[in-house]
Structure 1
Amino acid sequence: MTIRAVVRGVGHYLPDRVVENGEFEASLDTSDEWIRARSGIERRHFAAEGQTTSELATRAARAALDDAGMAADDLDAIILATSTADLTFPAAATMVQANLGMTRGFAFDVQAVCAGFVFALANANALIISGQAQRVLVIGAETFSRIMDWTDRGTCVLFGDGAGALVLEAQQGTGTTDDRGILSTDLNSDGRHRDVLYVDGGVSTGHSGYLRMEGREVFRHAIEKLAQTAQTALDKAGLDNGDIDWIVPHQANIRIIQGTAKKMNLPMDHVVVTVQDHGNTSAASIPLALSVGRARGQIKQGDLIVTEAIGGGLAWGAVVLRW
């Protein structure tokens, strides 16, 4: 008997405030054309004053539970991927647990920056296939607008806020690649490259800090590492590029998305792209894209999906799943 972690529901939430590229022209030496040309981003959403990451996560979680036809107490666990938790502790996942009225099970955060949702999926899969949980809610949620340096045009125009969620459930499979659910995962990190993407604050500094990024270095690492981890995950599953229905990548930059697809010899009409509307929402970007892709009618039951991401650390990874 093979146990698979199968997607039962998906949902997302975006804050009401939509910020078009043109809004930055009043305070920065930038333009709509400059931002679009370098990133593919046209707009992004920013959380309202007082609106927390756990609130965004809770809204996405409720949407996913509704889609799955489940109640909060049907869950065994919540895993929340975020780099912008409400507080240093407790975990924002426990706040979501309380907001949902979930009175059983456990909840914890995963912090792997933009790769966080991939790491969270891998953890949820491990819990399910080991028998420690039957149903796991996996969320990616961020309020990156809170850690932006608004004088740095190279970073502040790129990021947005939002949340997405999946409900995974243990189901019996055949042990073949035709099974629905997560078929393989691949996780990596290399702390030698931590200085190319980081926040210059934290407990050791006494202030929360701002995001800092060496864009060219991130770009240089991204395409090679994303294509490599996706191929490794496919190899682990016993599949190849020709089996892929959709790549659902981390939505950081259209040039990285296009470069990775090219390196994998896949046309862009097999890639779910939402970066133009959301910007880079870090750990939220993949579940947001999965939810939007399903809503658009792109992603259908039985489709083979490869999702991959890279973020600060550096940390990167991929998941192969059949919807």
Structure 2
Amino acid sequence: MRQPTRAGVRDAAAKIAAVVPPTPLLTADIHGQVVAFKAECLQPMGAFKLRGAWHRLTAIAAEDRARGVVAFSSGNHAQGVAWAARALGMPCVIVMPADAPKVKRDATLAMGGEVVSYDRRTESREKIAAYLAHARGAVLVPSFDDPWIIEGQGSAGIEAARQAEAQGFGPIGRVVAPCGGGGLAAGLALALPEAAVVTAEPVGWDDMARSLKAGWIEPVGDDAPPTACDSLQTMRVSERTFEVLARRDAHGVAVSEAEVRAAQRWAAAKLRLVVEPGGAVALAALLSRRVEPMPGTLVMLSGGNTDPEDYARVLAGEAVFVGEPA
């Protein structure tokens, strides 16, 4: 079985560089320390996910592309796959939860993706997608449990390291990344072998953090609380991503909903960036001091696809869920 490698990450970085410009590497002060921010929220489809999608879809043999691809996602992987499929002239079907943000669903449809809805609490997106892929003879493109996807996401680390050197920021000694299934964090671990890796997740959805601490995979509990971080609502990380991170002695932290909203407001005020909830958890980890800033810290701002109404409420300092403290 093919495994993700650093050589594969470098190949993915070369592929990505040929089709989209690098996203900015910004710097700002947090608690007296200058920190770098990789603004993946400024990708053409608003998130880092096009990296893995492009690396995966371009690896599909030309004779197989006419049958298309099937993916499952709450929205960012969906858009990344739809973006890549449109560019390559491939049919694309996305299995998406019925409660996915409207802005993500609409963008996926606008890029030519066909959306099949499911209930994330009672139905298995993996089973639905596998059935559709088999029925159509299409290639199944998982959102994180795939070597090409992991390598593609890691290309952000190769890009950031080059930018940090060119800008005089210095070597990246630690990277803090949002984590759902772990594809981005695992890719960064391969891309930046000298850097410590920290995953950030919403409270109650911090299965990667708990798994890394325990030494084995622990799924999200049935009593997981509501979260605005729709892109990080993965019920169980994969063996592949867990093993990459465990080998690197990565560890994880969890942040609250209020801390995520504070991070979104900070990104808007200090960096002039729109960052979605799931894309702001790594920043929230530093602002809340669950991760202390240190020289050479890189924070991944992984996406900016958020419903305008919800984002306006965040900027206004309002709670997202009824009865939740602001």
TM over 0.5: no
Identify, as 1 or 2, the structure richer in helix. Answer: 2
**TM-score normalized by structure 1?**
0.32
- The structure, 1 or 2, with the larger RCO (C-alpha pairs under 8 Å, 6+ apart) is 1
**TM-score normalized by structure 2?**
0.31
Identify, as 1 or 2, the structure richer in strand. Answer: 1
